[in-house]
Amino acid sequence: MPTLYTMPGTCSLAPNIAIAWLDAPVDIHNMAYGDHKKDAYLEINPKGKVPAVRFEDGDVLTEASAILAWLGSTYGKGKFARDSQIGRKEAEALSYMTSEVHATYGGHFGPGNLADSETAKDEVKQKTYEKLNVHYTRLNEDMKAHGGNWYLGGVRSFADAFLYVLTRWLEQTPLSIDDYPALRKHRADMEADEGVKKALERQDMQPIG
């Protein structure tokens, strides 16, 4: 059975949720924070990051968007059906969320990677929150424009799983979810979902409420 490696508070929650939605036969191995930098895990994923999926033959797949694509193509038929247009839009949304919004958080989680002095780090953080506000405003407007309970409208997609991660991370910043009411509702709807509850429990995390 494939194994998904996760860690509390990380974007590995998104494929964890997808596995719950699909009832996919994938084991969840939730590591304590810091274990991702230890030799045992670095032998699996030298990047030292989660998520990663290790297959029975020893092959390893990393990057959340790639893992979500694999889950959909392998276990999605008959359980997570969507037409080709929705599939394209899902891929577009995930690409934006993982390569742009997630990447912007580098200035929040690791300002020391971008600046040396405390003043410069503070400037990096300020610019980061300005950029994140732009992203969250766009995501909020997209939710409103699509007119449904889910990010792509009336159909649930893996984009919702990753968007939920992003709305959780927002709580670590000076930004307020109250300024993005469509995202606030989406987060509440996700936390009422049984698959999300299951994934949170497996990853030793709690709903934000």
Within 10 A of 128 (CB to CB), how many other CB atoms are there?
Answer: 19
> So what's the architecture of 84-193 in CATH?
Up-down Bundle (1.20)
Cα-trace Rg, the chain: 17
pLDDT in tens, 23-80: 999 999 999 999 999 999 999 999 999 999 999 999 999 999 999 999 999 998 766 6
Q: How far is CA 154 from CA 145, 151, 177, in A?
A: 12, 8, 22
Would you say 11 and 1 are in contact if contact means Cβ atoms under 8 Å apart?
A: no
Is the CATH code 3.40.30.10 the one for domain 3-75? yes
Q: Domain ranges in the chain?
A: 3-75, 84-193
* Domains 3-75 and 84-193 alike in fold: no
Query: Looking at 37-120, which runs of residues are DSSP E strands?
Result: 52-54, 60-62
Under 8 Å CB-to-CB from 106, ≥6 apart: which residues? Answer: 113, 114, 128
Judged by DSSP in three states, 6 sits in strand
Beta bridge partners of 4: 28, 53
pLDDT in tens, 112-157: 888 889 999 889 899 999 999 999 999 999 999 988 889 998 889 9
Whole-model pTM: value is: 0.94
Report d(CA 26, CA 172) in Å as an integer: 30
